[in-house]
Amino acid sequence: MLHINKVSASHQTKAHPYMRRIYQHLDSLEAQDFGRSDGTLVQSFRSFGGPPDAPQGWIWFNISSLNPSMLGAELVLFRKTLHPRPLSITVALHSIAASQGNLNESPALEERQLTLDQRPSSGYDVFDVSAVLASKPLEVLGFQLRYTDENGSLVLHEALTQSLYCLDRGSLSEPLLVLYQSHPLSGDQTLEQQKHLSAV
């Protein structure tokens, strides 16, 4: 867990590229606040192989060291490929929580349209997964993207996720789960949404 006023240079150079964006964003908010704030606590987790006997096709995070005061969460996926034609697809994000040997799957956390020939300006698709924090205790979380095409037909979700996103553990662009304790601006928007609004 990192306090933005105490992040060392060595930590920042080793950080996931998305986390460096967050540090810069929060640092700018701290500067605007003229030191009146105590800062924002941010915690991030990189993906791992999953618990024993974990189902295939899920992106797993070990969050056993999660700070219980965290209020918001983002799933961050780097879009590595673009389709040569302007195709749209609907994606529904599901989660599964593993605790004390039990797996509990949730209804869809979010549903959105993806345009497959366009990459987000940041390079990342960022999903608000704050709802998973309502479950206690949390030890391991898994996420799965399920797709339907323009005709409403199901698409092979595991193959498409592997094609669209960088899932290589240990790479600079591997999946990331970001949690934060307070909202730097207002409301219940995620950091990525806040950055987008502040840029408009």
How does pLDDT run across 58-80, given as a tens digit for each residue? 999 999 899 888 888 999 999 99
Structural domain span for residue 11: 2-199
How many CB atoms within 10 Å of residue 45? Answer: 19
Q: pLDDT tens digits for 79-98? A: 998 888 888 899 999 999 88
What is this structure's pTM?
0.77
Please give the angle made by the CA atoms of 140, 173 and 185, to the nearest 5 degrees.
75
Any idea what the CATH number is for the domain that residue 104 is in?
2.60.120
What gap in Å lies between CA 43 and CA 167, rounded to an integer?
20
Distance CA 118, CA 21 (A): 21
Which H or E run contains 191? helix 191-199
Query: Is 130's pLDDT higher than 80?
Result: yes
Structural domain count, the chain:
1
Count of C-beta atoms within a 10 Å radius of residue 159: 11
Cα 196 to Cα 32, 120, 121, 190: the distances in Å are: 18, 11, 10, 10
Strand runs labelled E in the chain: 2-3, 41-48, 59-62, 72-78, 88-99, 102-105, 110-115, 124-128, 140-148, 154-155, 176-180
**What type of residue sits at position 132?**
V
pLDDT digits (tens, 9 = 90+) for 8-53: 333 344 677 888 878 777 666 665 655 545 556 788 899 998 888 8
